Every structure is written in C-alpha cells, then in structure tokens.
Amino acid sequence: MIQRVLSGRYELEEKIGSGGMAEVYKAHDRLLARPVAIKILHEAYRSDVEFIERFHREAKSAARLSHPNIVSIYDVGVAGNDHYIVMEYVQSSTLKKKILDEGPLDILTAVSIAKDIANGLTHAHANNIVHCDIKPHNILMTEDNHAKITDFGIARAVTESTLTYGGSVIGSVHYFSPEQARGGAITPKSDVYSLGIVLYEMLTNKLPFTGDNPVTIAMKHIEEEPISPSRYRPQIPPMLEAIVCRAMSKSPEIRPSSFELVQELSNVEAALSVTVKSDPDATQVLPRAEIPSRRAVRQGLGAQVAAQEEKIPEPAVEQKPFYKSKIFVMMMALVLMLGFGVGIFAAFGKVLNTEETVTVPEVKGKQLALARQILEDNKLRVNVAETYDANVPAGQVVSQDPDVGKTVKSDRLVTIYVSKGGEALDMPDLAGLAKSAAIERLQKLGLNLGSVYEKDSPSEPGTVLSHDPTTGTRINRGQTIDLVVSRGEPERKVEEVKVTKKVTNVPNVENASLSVAEDGIEGRGLHVGSISYEDSNQAEGTVIAQYPSPDAEVELGSSVDLVVARRPEPVHEPEPQSSSEPTYNEPSQQETPIQDVPSREDDQEKER
C-alpha cells in the first residue's frame, strides 16, 4: 500500500501503469469521495521550465472538455516537486491490449470504436484542442466496449515543447502524421491521420509502416504509401478501405475532418448492420423432426387394440419407385429442355447485346484505393501496374489504359499505372556511349529522355558528349535527362570567302541549363553573347530567355544573348519580439559578375 497523499487530498492507493512521460496511480479523492487516476510526471521533466508551463496551460485547457468518449480531467497541480494531473478513473484495459489479445478485430467492432474516437476528436477540435498523439495505447476501452481518449493536454504539451529528450524521440513514430515527422505545423487533420492508422491496425493487426529505427519509419510516413488493408484481409468492404486510405493521405487537404469521418463511419456501420441482420425469408436448416413409429401410435391406442392389430398382418402392397415412373421421366426431360433453352438464350443474349457499354471514368491523380473503387463501381475490372514518376506522389495513379472517355463493354479490364514516387539514385556517367545505348540505359533506370542537342566534335557522330544533370548528381527515378551528342567534325572547305552569306536558325535553349545552352549554341556555329541574370521561380541556372528568339534566321558566327534564372533574394522581415522561436533565413545568393564574357567585337577582332 502506498502511503502518500498529494496536496492533502489525493491518497495514492496503487500504481497501475507507467509510460515515457509519467507514472499512473489509482487514488482516492478524499474531498469528493471518489476514485481517480493520477499521472505524475517523471523527474526528467522538472528541469524544463518551458515544458512545465506549457503542460499546465494545455492540461487546464483540456479540462474544459466534457464528452463521453474523452477521459475527463479534474485537476492539475503541484505537490512539492511532483507535477500531476488528476483524471477520471476508468477500470478497463487499453485498445492496444484488446488488439493484441483478439488479433484483427471484428469489422463492425473496429468501425464502432473508430467512430467513438472520431466523436471525441470532433468535440476536442471544436474547442481548438489537438491531441497530437492518438494511438491505441491512449484509448481506454470500457466494459461495454466503448472507447475513451486519454492524455489530452499532456501529448500536446510534449509535442509543442520539444521533439527529443536525451536523444530519444518523444511520441509514437508509428502513428505520426507526415507533417509531424517533418516537424511542420500540426492541425486537427494530424489527429485524423493517426486515427486512420489506428483503424488500419484494428482491421489488419498490422502497422502500415515499420522499420529498424524511428528515422526510417518517419521517412516512410513522408514518402511511402501503405499496403492496402484488403491485401491482408479481403473481407474489408471497399467503402471502408477507401475511408482508411483517405484518412491516411499524405496531404491534409485530402483527409476528412473528424466530423466528416464520423458521418462516413456511421454510413459504413449502418451498411454492415443491415448485412448482419438475419433475414426471416432466408433458407434455414431446421432440426430433424422425429416421426413416431407405427408401433408407438398403436401403443397410444391401448395395449389391447395394439395386441389385436399385431395378429392382423398388413397387406403387402408392392409400390413402384417414383424415379422409375413415367411422370418422373417426363418431368426430368422437361427440366433439361428448359435449362438448355435458358442457357442458349443467355449465351446468345450476351454475345448479341451491344447496349452493355460504359464510359471509362478518369482516375488519374487519385489514390489507388479510390481509383479502384471508382472503376469497379462502373462495372470495370482493374489491373494495377507500378511505375516510377518523380512528378506524381507515390500511391497516386499516373495514367490509365484505356484512357478517360473511351466507351468500352462492361467488365473490360482497365490497367492503372500507380506511381512509386521518385526513387533516389546517383546520375550515371553516359559520356562516351552511343545515343541509342544511353537512351536504353535511361529507360532501364526509370529515367526519361529530355532534349537532345548536337555539337561539333571529333568524336563519332551520335556519341554522348555530356548530359544534364551531370554524373554523380542525386536524382529521382522518373526525372528528365537532357543529352548533348556529337555531330562529328565540321567539313572544312578551301574556299573560305564566299559570295553568299551562310545563315542558320537559332536553336531553342530556353529551360535548358547554361552549360547545355552554350553547347547547343556553339553547335550551330554561333557564339554566346552577353549573359544576364534575373530573379525567377524557375530552377536556378536555367535559361529563361534568349535573344534572338528561337528559330530566328541569323548569320553564322552571330551571337546569342541569354537571360539566366537566379533565386530571388529573401525579404527580411523584422522578427516579432514576442515570439520565442528562432527564425531561419536562407543565405542570399550573390549575383554572378558578368565581366569575363567576350563581346561580339572581340570575337570579330580575333577572327581577323
């Protein structure tokens, strides 16, 4: 028995749990004569003044919440060096223990629990309070199988105060939202993402993202898409799977609010309840009735009558089996003829029926589960293929075949190509390869061919001279690569002076890097003129304008002026004195001096 009383009121009775932040005790409130649960923060947090202040402020805010799906906070206080919080005592186990004990939960039960949690979150979000650490460990299950969220205020205080303590990540990385893993702003949609993972775990008994260390798991939250829950449990209804995938979307804008999630889960719950209700007209297996024997009937008429009947032999009537009768044979023949006729009609009707057509809906840019549901709702079969595409987030549809708007027969197979994101790799060295070999290697690496520029060179025509990005640059699969290939040595003629002036067209080097643009211009027998820099949202070092314009006809040896993009200098705003958070300013990028670029007159003087 623990002989300890906090603030002269709360008598500690027994320790009922311990976590990373606090120890939990069952206690007796002497003033109100009721059992309570008390969490006492670990000694490690006592030295963090900012955290202690935030903890008290957030806990007092959470004490305003009053909802059947939220564990009530009664009091927050300090006794000596102990900072504690007094909460409603719920004699139950956690949702985590329920999942461990029962494995994948019944689908209807999982939906009901998720709806309870969403109801509690809706009330909290309406009061501008975000939990920040929704996980099965923080969900208490009552005896009547209802869920109550606990640790409101504590989780918020920890998340806002510090991300690490003693080298360890505070919080539950398995249930983090991508914005939490990134260290970004936390919103009510962050709680919805965590609830989506909790529902995923209840349905499959698996976590969507696992790894050897917290950093690996956090990166998976940011970059990877989870395996569809139906892969682990095919019985999950598509409608419910779509809700899970929306709640776990990487983009908070796609996730439903907690209130919308309650409505959607209620619809699923209603649909599942109708399904499991017994149908009075359904075929049922009835118990076999015991038919009394003839002797038992005779015994009921009395022993004397039965004895008398035993003496009278029953006439032996030879009955012909029914299956050998003419009526049975005729009935069977009629049934076979009807079945044969129905089969022929159905077969020819399906072949001749040209009305059963559908228009292929657009699923590009949609999440895999949602795209699958849309196509199946339109009576189409789905084949999923994966592809790398750095421009499309992982898990979203890149393209489809047949394309949107095509009219096809129902039950047609539609292939959707789902992005695997841009897998990081080092740019290989393609210099020296033939153009065809370089393109083949790009395709094998999942890279796309961009522009191909030609340049005079003693190398064999078609040989790759350089490429952008350059060798060793960190790139993503699906990225576009520009090539510069050899055009061979220029033909030298004895007649250097010609009556007619030779002209050529200015190549289009806009959107190319400066080095590639210079090679392309010189490859046309032209010179690079002045190079100026302007602030632009395009990639730094990219040509954003050229003079003369592309395809303009100019004399050989003419100069082409270029305008190159540079990163805009950040605007420094005065730092608010009330903010305690540091402001990080990106280093400004100095403008490249343009003092060593030869002028057109210098080039002509050299030629003379």
Q: Is the backbone of residue 8 left (phi > 0), alpha (psi -120 to 50) or beta? A: left
pLDDT at 48 over 90: no
Check 133, 151, 191, 482 and give the catalytic one: 133
* Cα first-last separation, the chain: 105
Three-state secondary structure call for residue 204: helix
Tally of structural domains, the chain:
5
Same domain assignment for residues 109 and 249: yes
Q: What per-residue confidence (pLDDT) applies to 345?
A: 58
CB distance 160 to 229 below 8 Å: no
Q: What per-residue confidence (pLDDT) applies to 280?
A: 42
What are the distances in angstroms from CA 222 to CA 181, 210, 219, 387?
Answer: 7, 13, 5, 19
Classify residue 76: in a domain, yes or no.
Answer: yes
pLDDT at 103 over 60: yes
Do the strands 22-29 and 34-41 form a parallel or antiparallel pair, or are they unpaired?
A: antiparallel
Residue where a domain stops, chosen among 211, 239, 274: 274
Span 559-587, mean pLDDT? 65
Span 65-71, mean pLDDT? 91
CB distance 237 to 268 below 8 Å: yes
The alpha carbon torsion through 208, 211, 215, 218 (nearest 10 deg) reads -10
pLDDT digits (tens, 9 = 90+) for 275-311: 655 444 443 433 333 444 444 434 444 444 344 444 4
What are the distances in angstroms from CA 14 to CA 2, 23, 39?
Answer: 6, 11, 12
d(CA 121, CA 191): 8
pLDDT digits (tens, 9 = 90+) for 30-44: 999 999 999 888 877
Report residue 206: phi and psi, to 5°. -135, 150
pLDDT at 186 over 90: no
Classify residue 55: in a domain, yes or no.
Answer: yes
pLDDT at 274 over 90: no
Question: Which of 230-244, 269-283, 391-405 ranks highest by mean pLDDT?
Answer: 230-244
**CATH number, domain with residue 565:** 3.30.10.20
Do the strands 553-555 and 357-359 form a parallel or antiparallel pair, or are they unpaired?
A: unpaired
Classify residue 597: in a domain, yes or no.
Answer: no
pLDDT at 352 over 50: no
Is 133 catalytic? The answer is yes
Same domain assignment for residues 257 and 120: yes
Which residue segment(s) compose the domain that 472 sits in?
A: 423-491
Same domain assignment for residues 98 and 229: yes
pLDDT at 169 over 90: no
Same domain assignment for residues 471 and 559: no
pLDDT digits (tens, 9 = 90+) for 302-349: 444 344 444 444 444 445 555 456 676 677 777 677 766 666 655 555
Three-state secondary structure call for residue 598: coil
Same domain assignment for residues 437 and 518: no
pLDDT band at 147 (very low <50, low <70, confident <90, very high): very high
Same domain assignment for residues 130 and 210: yes
The alpha helices in 162-320, defined as continuous H runs, are: 178-182, 188-204, 214-223, 229-232, 238-247, 258-276, 294-300, 303-311
CB distance 563 to 534 below 8 Å: yes
pLDDT digits (tens, 9 = 90+) for 214-229: 888 888 998 888 999 9
Three-state secondary structure call for residue 370: helix
The alpha carbon torsion through 577, 578, 581, 585 (nearest 10 deg) reads -30
Q: What per-residue confidence (pLDDT) applies to 291?
A: 40
Burial of 135 (0-12, 13-18, 19+ CB in 10 A): buried
Classify residue 183: in a domain, yes or no.
Answer: yes
pLDDT band at 248 (very low <50, low <70, confident <90, very high): very high
Residue where a domain stops, chosen among 42, 66, 88: 88
* Across 61-70, 80-89, 563-572, least confident range: 563-572
Classify residue 232: in a domain, yes or no.
Answer: yes
Same domain assignment for residues 127 and 270: yes
CB distance 154 to 146 below 8 Å: no
pLDDT digits (tens, 9 = 90+) for 425-470: 788 899 999 999 999 888 888 888 888 888 888 888 999 999 988 8
Q: What per-residue confidence (pLDDT) applies to 377?
A: 83
Same domain assignment for residues 118 and 54: no
Predicted TM-score (pTM) of this structure: 0.47
Q: Which amino acid is at 421?
A: G
Do the strands 474-476 and 480-488 form a parallel or antiparallel pair, or are they unpaired?
A: unpaired
The pLDDT > 70 percentage for the chain reads 75
Same domain assignment for residues 247 and 117: yes
Q: What per-residue confidence (pLDDT) applies to 387?
A: 79
Three-state secondary structure call for residue 114: helix
Tokens 């965590």 — which residue?
A: 194
Classify residue 338: in a domain, yes or no.
Answer: no
Three-state secondary structure call for residue 10: strand
pLDDT at 115 over 60: yes
pLDDT at 414 over 50: yes
pLDDT at 360 over 70: yes
pLDDT band at 422 (very low <50, low <70, confident <90, very high): low
Classify residue 588: in a domain, yes or no.
Answer: no
Residue where a domain stops, chosen among 274, 297, 317: 274
Instruction: Evaluate the CA torsion angle 48, 52, 55, 57 in order and state its sign.
Output: negative
* Across 12-21, 61-70, 581-590, least confident range: 581-590
pLDDT band at 65 (very low <50, low <70, confident <90, very high): confident
d(CA 349, CA 347): 5
d(CA 475, CA 342): 62
pLDDT at 507 over 80: yes
Three-state secondary structure call for residue 294: helix
Q: What per-residue confidence (pLDDT) applies to 329?
A: 65
**CATH number, domain with residue 18:** 3.30.200.20
**Angle formed by the axes of helices 258-276 and 107-126, nearest 10°:** 160
Do the strands 559-566 and 527-535 form a parallel or antiparallel pair, or are they unpaired?
A: parallel
Same domain assignment for residues 119 and 177: yes
Same domain assignment for residues 405 and 533: no
Of 27 and 43, the structure prediction assigns the larger pLDDT to: 27
Mean pLDDT of the chain: 78
Same domain assignment for residues 373 and 454: no
Classify residue 361: in a domain, yes or no.
Answer: no
Tokens 């402020």 — which residue?
A: 57
